[in-house]
Amino acid sequence: MPLSGWAVPQLDTLADHSGPVVGVAAYAPTPLKVGVGEYARNERVVLVSDDYFQVLGSPLHLGQPIGSEHGTPGSAARVAVISYQYWQRALGRDRAVRGRLVWVAGVPLTVIGVTRPGFVGDASDAPAVWIPLTMAPNLGHNESRTTSPLIS
């Protein structure tokens, strides 16, 4: 069940003391300019906790999901998982997409994966890109781990 207004420390505590709960993931959707090369347009971007794809049980079409190696505080891993639809539209279904750059809010991010067709996460409006929550300060998103509103 989505809960809004949670901050990272609250979610960490919930995950540590959750008992039979399988996992806790957080996400913060935001519209940002996304582009490949010179072309950029407003797209739905979702900042996600490092266990987001695992908790949702979503295998990827290509590559790897955002994981613990990308989501540790201070790491600000510059990686992205792109949607299957964005991969088709902007990158022509290039199977060598892993390692290519996609620009989000003027910041270059390395594509590490492509979602399976039809995957939208926990949203009705399909995102184009998912990136680690730790990238928020680099994108001008709320910089505080203690006060940023999240949905879990």
pLDDT single digits (tens) 110-134: 999 999 999 998 777 889 999 998 8
Least Cα distance to 105 among 18, 11, 34, 15 occurs for 34
Domain range list for the chain: 4-13+24-151
pLDDT the model gives residue 122: 78
Cβ proximity of 8 and 16 under 8 Å: no
Task: List, in order, residues 6 or more apart from 81 with CB less than 8 Å away.
Answer: 53, 60, 63, 65, 66, 111, 112, 113, 114, 115, 129, 130, 131
Other Cβ atoms closer than 10 A to 90: 21
Cβ proximity of 81 and 74 under 8 Å: no
What is the band of 11 on the pLDDT scale with cuts at 50, 70, 90?
low
Mean of pLDDT values over 1-29: 60
pLDDT the model gives residue 143: 46
Q: What is the mean pLDDT of the chain?
A: 81
Cβ proximity of 46 and 86 under 8 Å: no
Cβ proximity of 128 and 41 under 8 Å: no
Q: For the chain, what is the radius of gyration of the CA atoms? A: 15
pLDDT single digits (tens) 37-57: 888 999 999 999 988 999 888
Measured between alpha carbons, how far apart are the two ends of the chain, in Å?
8
